[in-house]
Structures are given as C-alpha cells and as structure tokens.
Structure 1
Amino acid sequence: MFKSFISHSRFSLLAHFILWFLIVSQLLRIGFFIWQYDEVSWNIINLFRTLLTGLFFDIGTITFVSLTAIIYYVLMPNRWIGSWADKILVWFFTALTIFILVFTFFAELTFWDEFRTRFNFIAVDYLIYTHEVVSNIEESYPLPLLIGGVLLITAAVLLAFYKTNAFTHTFTHHASLKSRLAVLGTAAVLAFFYGSFITNYQAEWSSNRYNSEISKSGIYSFFAAFRNNQMKYNEFYTSIENDKAFALIKGKLSDPNSKYSNNGYSIHRTITDSMPSEEKKNVVFILVESLSGSFLKEFGNEENITPFMDSLAQKSVFFENLYATGTRTVRGMEAVTLCIPPTPGQSIVKRPENDNLFTVCSVFKQRNYDCNFFYGGDGYFDNMNAYFGGNGFTIYDRGRGSVLSDKIKTTRNNINDSEVTFENAWGICDEDIFNKMLKVADVQYKNNQPFFNFIMTTSNHRPYTYPSGKIDIPSGKSREGAVKYTDFALRELFEKAKTKPWFKNTVFVIIADHCASSAGKDEIDVKNYHIPAFIVNLPEANNQKIQKQCSQIDLWPTLFSMFHWNYESDFFGKNVLDPKFEERALLGTYRKLVLMKKDRVMILSDQKKQASYTWNKEDNSLKPLRMDKSFLEETISWYQTADYLFTNKLLK
C-alpha cells in the first residue's frame, strides 16, 4: 500500500518530497555527529536515541511544512488534475519549497559553525535585522556560489523526482475519496498531536548537550523559539515565596555601608562611603565584542594576539576570575548597565517597557555627567538605541536621524562618512569608533563637562574584516586576526588619549560583552563565560590583580567604591574589594539560569527543573552533585527577585 502511495497515486510527488526531507535531515544530523565527534556520546543506545528522536521531530516538521500542499492535493477536483494550472502550481511551489529547505539546511550548517546549536532565539532575532545579517553572510561566505549551489541541488532533486515519475503519477492519477480522507486525516492528527502535545524541550533528553541539540529539527526549533522568546519566571522556573527570596537577597547585598529604603519587595538602598569624595573623574567604558579570556596570554594563550591588553593587565585593576552573565552582546549590556542577573528569555535591552530604569547612567547623571553611547553600526540593531536612548544616553551611531522617537527624547548623532576609514556588515572599525569618541571627549573637556562615554566595539565579529596593513594577520581570515586588530586599536586609542589634556583625569574601563563561543557538551560550558576586565589609569597604588570569583554585575559597584562615591543603588552587584565579598558568579543562557560559587554550580532550567554540579576547572567538566536546599534557594532568589523587580516596574 505504501509503495503504491509513493509510485502510483495522486500523492506520489508529496510522498517523494516527504521521504527526501526525512533522509536529508538524518544525513545532516549524522554530519553534525561527525562534526562534534570528540564531544558527542557515541554510546550505541545514545546514538540510536539521537537519530530516532531526530526522526520523530523531523516528522512533525515535515507535517507542518507539507500541510498546505496536502490541503491542495485533497481539495483539487479530479477533473482538474493534470491541467495546466495544476502543473504550474505544483511545479512552482514544489521547486520553491525545496529551494527554501535546501537553503535552510545550508543555513543550519553556518549557524552550527557559529553557535554549535540548532536554530534558537538568536536565529529568530536575526530574522528581524535582515540588513546586518545578509551583509554579514555576503562578507563571510561566497554568496553567489552558495545560491548557485542551492539552485543546483534544487534542480537535481526536481530531476530525481521527475525521473522516478513522481510528477507523472501526480498529474495522471485521480484520488479517491478514501485516499483523500486518509491523507488529510493523517496530516490533521499529526499536526494536532505535535502542535498540542510536543514541545522542543522534549528533544533535550541527554546530559550531553550536543546529543540533545543534534536530536532537534532546526526548523521545528526555530518556530519553538519564535513562540517562546519571552519567559515569565514563575511559569517556567522553580520559585519560593517572594518574602523569603527578597529577605535572602537583601541579606546577600547588605553591608555596613548600605541602608535599605524600605522593607518591601525592593533592593533599593543608599551606599555610603566611609571617606566620601566629590571628585569627578571622566570614564571611558569599552565593551569589547566577543573577548574571551582564553585569547589573552595572561590566561595561557600562546599566539601573542593580545600584547597590549596583556601589558595592561600588569598596570591596572585586573579581574582575573570574572564571568560574563550571558552569551550575547545584549546580555553584556544588560549586566554592565543594570548590574542585574540575567532574566529568562529576552534580555531586558530588547524588552518593552525598558526605559527610565535605574542604570549606571543614573549614578553618573546624579553627578551631572554627560553620558554617551557610541556604536559603529546602526543602533537599531538589537534595540540598542531605544534602550540606551530611553535610559539617558546620547547616541552616536551609523544610523540616520536626529530623534529616536516621540517617546525617547534624546539626541541621535550620525557618524559621518568622512569619519569612516573602514566598514563591514556590523559597522565601522574599532579605530574609527575610538576616534569618534576622542573627538566628542575633546568637546566635552572644552565645555568643562565631566563625561561617561560608553563604546561598543564591532571588529571582533564575523566576517573578521578590518583595515589592511595594521597587523600581521590578513583581514577576513580568522577570529585571531580580529582579536589582534582590536588589541591594536586599543593601543592606538591609548596612545592618542595620552596626548589629550583630559587624559590624567580619565579612567578607562575595558570588559568583554561575552566570550567568542559558549557552547559545550554540558548544560553550561563554564569556561566559555570567563572574560577579562580592566580598570586603567587610576592612581598606581590601586593597581592589582583581583583573584576573587565575580561577575560582570560587580564591575561598577567596585569602581564606584574606588571613587569613594555615595550613591543610590538598585544594583545586584557588589564591591569585589570589600573583604567580606562573597565570591560567586551569575551566568546563563536565555533558558538556563546559573549560580556558581567557587566550584559548585546550580542550574535552574525551564519546566521547573534544577541540577547541581561540581565544576572541574582543569577539564571544564560538570559532575553531578547532591542537591543542597540552601544553595538551591539562594540560586532561585537571585533570579526570582531580579525578574520580579523588572516585571513589576520596580527598577524605574
């Protein structure tokens, strides 16, 4: 019967199409297995479970992909089968669908190369910012060759269907009422079953993250992420009573220098320094794209690609054991502006109602600083302009226009073509954005205006292109070249800044937004959250290497304490230099929320799951650990309170 359905029926082409998709999807899955051969579990049971789970999700995917075609085949009257209209519609939409799927298979390969995961919320975000993404693809890959290859494969598949008479049978066989109802009923039942009872999370059966990711279907994962891009903490994660959570966090944040404003669900407090100062040092803050700690010689790298930053580590306040809160730029921005643990789902930078929050800018504004955000691309990307503009920053970017919106009353300054020497898909090179900041700082100094200038770099990002002749690695060849160019640009910035009259009174803060890669075989790849951070140009007596384990959210509270400032705070971060500082790091993905204390790691997952591990720093492995209730409740409290404060607009 099945053979007849494939070779001698109105549904012959549909059957060939479904079978082709299932075979190619499994071949892609096997390809990913071979790609990660040294990190996947090759246990025979795990191997077959990965492939069978993948087949299960592929069936769901092709059911939804084929649904429109199934309805067409079922409803088309027999007297019109084989007509010119029928042939044109079937040929065109079959070819178009195959082209899209082949292109998607190629896209999955490039996405895996970058993120070591099937499509997720990042792919959903990239769908919104088509200019940057398409430009990045054009500059990173031979697009004409890629499109040509997709067209060639599409033609080959259509030819194979033609040679097996799939088109002929589809256009010459009538469909009985029984066969129509059977096909439509099967599709309807499968669509209802997958749509109502199956979630993408069910593919995550293995403790080896790679096996779970390979088990997924990329298209199915994409639409699952599209539906679940924002996650309410209490609906998805284990929670405790708010009274208990806030009491626990207030205890963690309290110290002799802090006084809470009220006893409710708030962490707002006044920080009072024992030797308060009104000194106003300028601050240049540089958030460096994808600067993994592993790139620095200071942390064991032998390629000598960060000579300038390695030299800074010897003459600055250098954080040796600091961890990023997330895996994307917007997470880093969230951490360094709000000093808050990563909330589940989208970063606050991209959420609605994220304006007029209490940020680092608020502290500077209270002291009459001029606050500016510099970005070498169009700040529309990732909602950066709306976020920074809505929270008190003046914008400098490559977009067009002077006012962001009627709601956000801030100035948006365009970086002119005359100020640009090199530009790629993501924006102008690091030298150019630094030079723009220097120009603005000169004006601020001339106007006797203390400044806080926030720079987001872009050069250390695929396609890894930068001005030629600057370093000894050709542009566009490798991540290592992009890192070395960023290091070169930082050296140039300091050389130029040292000639400025405002340099002596200016502190430079350099930190990564996240690591270059964050994927590993375990639930959380801890090593790939380790990033460097520097505070440069404070009095020499302050220079030191801080070995305490800490987080991005601790950077500003530490610097404000070194300034001896009194200030209001809604920050979850603390002063790392406090002798009573309790070492810990908060990190996660958009679904995993993690508290790490020394080598103990607690992971909260959606579906109200949790797991406890010990982390072996030597081989970057996680070993299961017996659940500790107090550790679990502390982990819950950090994230539950952060989510509560933002959701209930208590960070305004």
Structure 2
Amino acid sequence: MKKLSPKYGRYSLLLHFAIWFLILSQCLRICFFVWQYNEVSLNVIDFLRTLITGLFFDLGTVVFITIFGILYYSIIPNKWIGSVLDKILIYFFTSLTVFVLVFTFFAELTFWDEFKTRFNFIAVDYLIYTHEVVANIKQSYPLPVLIGGVLLLTLAFLFLFYKNKAFTTTFNAKASLKTRLSVLLPTVFTALFFAFFITNNQAEWSSNRYNSEISKSGIYSFFAAFRNNQMKYVDFYTSIDNNKAFGIIKKKLAAPNSVYSKKNYSIHRKITDSLPSLKNKNVVFILVESLSGSFLKEFGNKENITPFLDSLAQKSVFFENLYATGTRTVRGMEAVTLCIPPTPGQSIVKRPNNQNLYTVCSVFKSRKYDCDFFYGGDGYFDNMNAYFGGNGFNIYDRGRGSVLSDEIKTVRNNINDDEVTFENAWGVCDEDIFNKMLKVADVQYKNKKPFFNFVMTTSNHRPYTYPSGKIDIPSGTSREGAVKYTDFALKALFKKAKTKPWFKNTVFVIIADHCASSAGKDEIDVANYHIPAFIVNLPQEQNQKITRQCSQIDLWPTLFSLFQWNYESDFFGKNVLAPKFEERALMGTYRKLVLMKKEKVMILSDQKKQAFYSWNKQDNSLTKIPMNHSFLEETISWYQTADYLFTNKLLK
C-alpha cells in the first residue's frame, strides 16, 4: 500500500479498512458474475460498468460505515491519542465492524443463493423475525463452522492491518485541526450527497437484471429497502385521472350478473347467479409454500416429485395457466383473501390499518361459516395473526402466547406439543398441521357449523427438513425432497378426510403462495410466477382443465360462481369460466407492477417509468416492443385503483 502522508497518519487504520472493504466488495461482485455467468451480460462495457457502478455505491456504503469513526478520530484531543482508552475503543469497534461485515458478506452469498438478488425488503423482514431466521440458519448451515470461519477471517484481516502498521501509525500520529477538517468535512459532504441525491434504484442501469443487482452494494440496498418499505402509488408511479382509472376498471370488471354501487371511486358490486345457490359446502383451503408449476409432471417435470398432485390434475377443476401476484407468502395471502392486485411496497398483510377489510372471509361469514386460519409456526411471523385475526378468522398456530391484541376480537388456539411429531425453524410438518385441521373440522361438523378452514403449509421451505422415512429423498437434502414430502402429506390428508362424515360435502382448494424462485435476467421472470391451482371434490361433471390465462385473484370468484352464490364483492378478480372473461395476469415485486395479456407484458416501475415487452414462453425472454398507450392506461388503472381503495380505507 502506498505510504500515507504523515499528517494523515492518524487515519491510517480507517484508510486500510476502507480499501479492504472496497476490495472485498468487488471480489464478492466478481463471485456473483461467476455464479450467474450463463445469464449475466459479460460484454466488456457491461462488465466494466457493473464494477464501476458497484464501486460508486461501495464508496457511499463505506462512508456511512466509517463516518462515526471519522467523527471520533477528528474530535479526540491529540493528548489522548494512543491512550489506553483510545486503544480499547479502536481495537474493539474495528474488530466488531470487520466481524459484522465478514458475516454480512457470507449472508449475501446465502441470500443470493435463495433469491438471486442483493439484500432487499425481504432481508429487512428477516431482521425483524429473528427467532425464525436464526433457527433457519442453524438448521440450514453448519453454524459452528460458519461462525468459526467468520472469526478466523476477521482475525486474518485484523492481522493484515497490524502487519501493515495501521494500528501502530494510528496510535502514534497526531493530527492538526486543518488535517481533521480536511477529512471530516468531505466525509460529511459525501454522506449527505448519498443520503439526499443517490437512490438505490439508480444502480439499475441495465436491461439485464443480474447486472443491475450485481451493481448494487448489499448493505446500501438493505438500508434503502428499510427506508422504502411502503410506497404511495401516485408518488412513485405513472398515474392518470382517478375518474378515468376507475372507469377503465369498472368496465373490465363489469358482468351481466353484477350491479355496481353508485359511488364513483369504488368497485363494490352485488353479484347474483341465475341459478339457485347450492347448499353450503365446507371449504378446506390449502396455501402451499413455494409450489412452482415447474415441479409438476403436468408441466413437464421429469423427477416425479408430485405424483399425488399430478393425479388430482386429472380429476379436479385444474388451472393450467394461472400466475401468482408476487414472490412472497404474504403476497399470496393478500391475493387469495382480498382478490386484489399487488400494491407497491409491502403487502397489505404487513401494513397498518389492515383490519376489518372486505375479504373472502366476509363472504363466508355472511353465510354463517366458521372461519379458521391454521399455521404450523408462530403466526406473529409476517404479521399473519394480526391480519387474519383482524379479518374474522380464528387462529390455530404454534405461538406461545394466547393474546393477539386488545383491538383484535378473535380466538387464538395453540397447537400443543402432543399434536406435533416433527418441527423445524418454520413450524410443524405438513402432516401435523393437516391433522390439526382435521381434528377441528370434526368438532365443527359435530356442532353443525359449515366451515372455511385456511391452512398455510411450511415444509417446502429451507432447511427442507421433514419426518424421516416418509419418502425416498432424505430429509434436509434438497428442495425436491421438501416438495415430494408436501405431496405425500397432501395424499395422507385426503386419505384421512375421505373417512370423515363431512368429506362428501367438502371442497378442497389447493394453490401455491408463490414460486420457489422468482429471479431471472429480465425485469420480471414471467415463468417463475406460474403456479398450479386445484378445486377438488366438486361434482364430477364440473371437473375440467382451465387453459385461460388468469391470476391468483380470480380463484375465489370462480369458485363462488361454481357454488352459484349471490354475494357482495370488492374483489378485482373475476370468474374465469364466464364466457366473456378477458385473459390477463397481474403480478409484481415490491417495486415492479405488471399486467400480462397472453404474450404482451407491461411493467410499471417507480420513478414513473414503464416498459412494454413481448414474452417468449419457449425461452422465457422479454423483448421490448413499441409502447401501447391503451394497454399502459389499463395497467395503471389496475394498480392505481387498488392502491387508492386501500390507502383511503375503502376496502373496510
């Protein structure tokens, strides 16, 4: 390293630290290039721009990391430099910071392995729910080896600083006021510049999503997500006049059997069926963790990991061309309870003021159903208990407490230890949660209560552990094993349910919350939103394979139509079986909002940007095409109206 000017010797350790961080960050960036070499753009200009953009954001990151250290170095009097207190503070905080950053670099690798992205709002959520995340890490990785490795690397880097005399120079060099100000003021100026003028999405310069993600700094991205978890649509996205937006959506949702209320900014309508409503059927609704369409033999998988679900596809109402609205469980929950497009920022499940909304539970409650939510973990995670409890469901979970909050008037029931045969970081195995639901359904039947039981599974989630001896893939070895176990557990559920007196009058609905992976080189990886959905145990003549392109939000309106129910609706979903159903899918990330019609894909981005693509299903690629303004206005309308209704509490 080039020798530091003697007058800046006091800052020698900080300089060594900054250079170390920048080098390690670029090494991590190159590691991601190697990891995604088949999909990332390795054009020389793109490669260099990725590294240079990354270096720019790394500089901002290292400034934020070191600013308090620089402040300390700049205000401590010269007579205290090298004192015992000075050495203790510098050794301790330097060692701690290096340890945390080395651990963070490891965490970025595991996060990339799971999500193919730099830290984002998912990482922010994981920081909140430390119990589940720490348990997941312990069960997924050899923690002693990981911590030991981080500790050894930390000591190695500190030794490198020591060998280069960074500590010695820092403890022996004095600094004049001029020197101190010449370091402190530019640092503060740079920090303010990044804080007020640089946004994380400015790193997204490339049409190749991987290049854009690799251009980011993970730590910078984390704090950017922490600051921007909720986004008002009109502030960040292209908008149109509300009258026009609601007019477009009302036209899209119009049907011969529905009548709108007279309010302008509303989609509330009464839906009637020409045939008499069928007798109330019980409904068991199963939201399966990370069940990608690509796992099914029905969609070309050759590994035979879903034999039971593939058999159901032949004897159910099976949705062949249905797409998830998002990439997280809470998005799936939002879609199947509110039947609403994904609003930007956090899912409604995690937002404040999300109680007493008009959900599918409201429809069931109007028909005197008993509504219950079953989750094998602690429903505190992802705000599930507050959301479901605040919207009419009784709760069955593995939480240790019995109280939700004073505002939520519902019943919370624990899954007891004697009801659990296997449990991992995320909760009890799928067999156990299904058995709990069966036990509750027996009581509901005995009490002559029609029931709507909503079950959220957990087994198809890292660390992919499940009871041994159930399937031919050892527990904890692969995602494929977890998928096959979930399929096994579903088969066991149906085998037991068929012995129940309530089975003949019960419809089972199975759908994924989202795909196992959602990342690709394009802005939106369309294929990784494709999920299966089944409606099982209707009269045999109703079974069919639905080939129409549709969304998670269309599932319930379709089932209510099959039930021939009259009901009130604030739903954006429609009956897929209606003769004039217009095929389309709505999906997104927490920042990208998408309308897809057949192969045409419109993507709205924050900073009021939009792009129009043609999707090639064969290779899952997007090709830019000329803008279609009527398509754009329709896309805007779906999301602008959904955001308006929730923000203005019109979904209550």
TM-score w.r.t. structure 2 length?
0.99
Give the corresponding residue for 2:395.
395
Give the corresponding residue for 1:604.
604
Give the corresponding residue for 2:483.
483
Kept after mapping to 1: 8 A contact 2:7/2:179 = no
CA distance in 2, matches of 1:453, 1:407: 23
CA distance in 1, matches of 2:336, 2:56: 42
Q: Secondary structure at the match of 2:336?
A: helix
CA distance in 2, matches of 1:7, 1:48: 35
Q: Secondary structure at the match of 2:619?
A: coil
Kept after mapping to 2: 8 A contact 1:6/1:12 = no
Give the corresponding residue for 1:314.
314
Q: Secondary structure at the match of 1:449?
A: coil
Give the corresponding residue for 1:227.
227
Kept after mapping to 2: 8 A contact 1:327/1:515 = yes
Please, which moves more after superposition, 565-574 or 77-86? 77-86
Give the corresponding residue for 1:346.
346
Give the corresponding residue for 2:422.
422
CA distance in 2, matches of 1:465, 1:526: 29
CA distance in 2, matches of 1:273, 1:5: 83
CA distance in 1, matches of 2:291, 2:462: 13
Deviation at 1:276?
2.4
Give the corresponding residue for 2:88.
88
CA distance in 2, matches of 1:371, 1:615: 40
Give the corresponding residue for 1:53.
53
1:329 aligns with 2:329: yes
CA distance in 2, matches of 1:595, 1:136: 35
CA distance in 2, matches of 1:443, 1:6: 81
1:639 aligns with 2:639: yes
Kept after mapping to 1: 8 A contact 2:464/2:481 = yes
Deviation at 1:7?
10
Kept after mapping to 2: 8 A contact 1:602/1:632 = yes
Give percent identity, aligned residues only. Answer: 80
CA distance in 1, matches of 2:387, 2:72: 46
Deviation at 1:263?
3.7
CA distance in 2, matches of 1:472, 1:373: 31
Alignment of 1:365-404 (within 5 A): 365-404=365-404
CA distance in 1, matches of 2:522, 2:93: 41
Give the corresponding residue for 1:108.
108
Kept after mapping to 2: 8 A contact 1:324/1:531 = yes
CA distance in 1, matches of 2:336, 2:298: 23
Kept after mapping to 1: 8 A contact 2:459/2:466 = yes
Deviation at 1:400?
2.4
Kept after mapping to 1: 8 A contact 2:8/2:175 = no
Structure 1 residue identity aligned to 2:487: D
Q: Secondary structure at the match of 2:371?
A: strand
Give the corresponding residue for 1:156.
156
How has the CA–CA distance of structure 1 residues 388 and 6 changed in structure 2, closer, same or farther, with 3 Å as cutoff? farther
CA distance in 2, matches of 1:278, 1:583: 27
Give the corresponding residue for 1:13.
13
Structure 2 residue identity aligned to 1:35: W
1:186 aligns with 2:186: yes
Deviation at 1:2?
6.8
Give the corresponding residue for 1:175.
175
Alignment of 1:507-522 (within 5 A): 507-522=507-522
Give the corresponding residue for 1:581.
581
Kept after mapping to 1: 8 A contact 2:390/2:409 = yes
Deviation at 1:401?
3.1
Kept after mapping to 2: 8 A contact 1:5/1:11 = no
Give the corresponding residue for 1:362.
362
Alignment of 1:126-165 (within 5 A): 126-165=126-165
Alignment of 1:398-477 (within 5 A): 398-477=398-477
Structure 2 residue identity aligned to 1:331: R
Give the corresponding residue for 2:247.
247
Give the corresponding residue for 2:97.
97
Kept after mapping to 2: 8 A contact 1:401/1:413 = no
Give the corresponding residue for 1:615.
615
Deviation at 1:402?
3.0
Kept after mapping to 2: 8 A contact 1:6/1:15 = no
Deviation at 1:509?
0.1
CA distance in 1, matches of 2:476, 2:7: 50
Structure 2 residue identity aligned to 1:554: D
RMSD: 1.0
Describe the superposition over 1:383-402 as per-residue Cα deviations: whole angstroms up to 9, x where unpaired.
00000000000000001233
Describe the superposition over 1:203-242 as per-residue Cα deviations: whole angstroms up to 9, x where unpaired.
0000000000000000000000000000000000000000
CA distance in 2, matches of 1:364, 1:193: 53
Give the corresponding residue for 1:528.
528
CA distance in 2, matches of 1:67, 1:184: 8
Give the corresponding residue for 1:28.
28
CA distance in 2, matches of 1:61, 1:116: 21
Structure 2 residue identity aligned to 1:638: W
Deviation at 1:178?
1.9
Q: Secondary structure at the match of 1:364?
A: helix
CA distance in 1, matches of 2:142, 2:5: 41
Q: Secondary structure at the match of 2:287?
A: strand
Kept after mapping to 2: 8 A contact 1:309/1:487 = yes
How has the CA–CA distance of structure 1 residues 403 and 584 changed in structure 2, closer, same or farther, with 3 Å as cutoff? same
Structure 2 residue identity aligned to 1:646: F
1:627 aligns with 2:627: yes
Give the corresponding residue for 2:502.
502
CA distance in 1, matches of 2:372, 2:461: 23
Structure 1 residue identity aligned to 2:82: G
CA distance in 1, matches of 2:77, 2:327: 53
Give the corresponding residue for 1:591.
591
How has the CA–CA distance of structure 1 residues 386 and 5 changed in structure 2, closer, same or farther, with 3 Å as cutoff? farther
Q: Secondary structure at the match of 2:318?
A: strand
Kept after mapping to 2: 8 A contact 1:403/1:409 = no
Structure 1 residue identity aligned to 2:489: A
Kept after mapping to 2: 8 A contact 1:5/1:15 = no
Describe the superposition over 1:524-559 as per-residue Cα deviations: whole angstroms up to 9, x where unpaired.
000000000000000000000000000000000000
Deviation at 1:5?
4.1
Give the corresponding residue for 1:217.
217
Deviation at 1:403?
3.1
Q: Secondary structure at the match of 2:10?
A: coil
Deviation at 1:302?
0.2
Q: Secondary structure at the match of 1:611?
A: strand
CA distance in 1, matches of 2:80, 2:561: 80
CA distance in 1, matches of 2:4, 2:144: 40
Structure 2 residue identity aligned to 1:266: S
Q: Secondary structure at the match of 1:9?
A: helix
1:268 aligns with 2:268: yes
Deviation at 1:594?
0.1
Deviation at 1:92?
0.6
Describe the superposition over 1:501-522 as per-residue Cα deviations: whole angstroms up to 9, x where unpaired.
0000000000000000000000
Kept after mapping to 1: 8 A contact 2:324/2:551 = yes
Q: How many residues align?
A: 652
Structure 2 residue identity aligned to 1:87: K
Q: Secondary structure at the match of 1:11?
A: helix
CA distance in 2, matches of 1:581, 1:7: 75
Describe the superposition over 1:94-149 as per-residue Cα deviations: whole angstroms up to 9, x where unpaired.
00000010010000000000000000000001110000000000000011111101
Structure 1 residue identity aligned to 2:530: H
Structure 2 residue identity aligned to 1:17: F
CA distance in 2, matches of 1:121, 1:262: 39
> Which structure 2 segments of 5+ residues have no match?
none
Please, which moves more after superposition, 365-374 or 186-195? 186-195
> Which structure 1 segments of 5+ residues have no match?
none
Deviation at 1:434?
0.1
Deviation at 1:186?
1.6
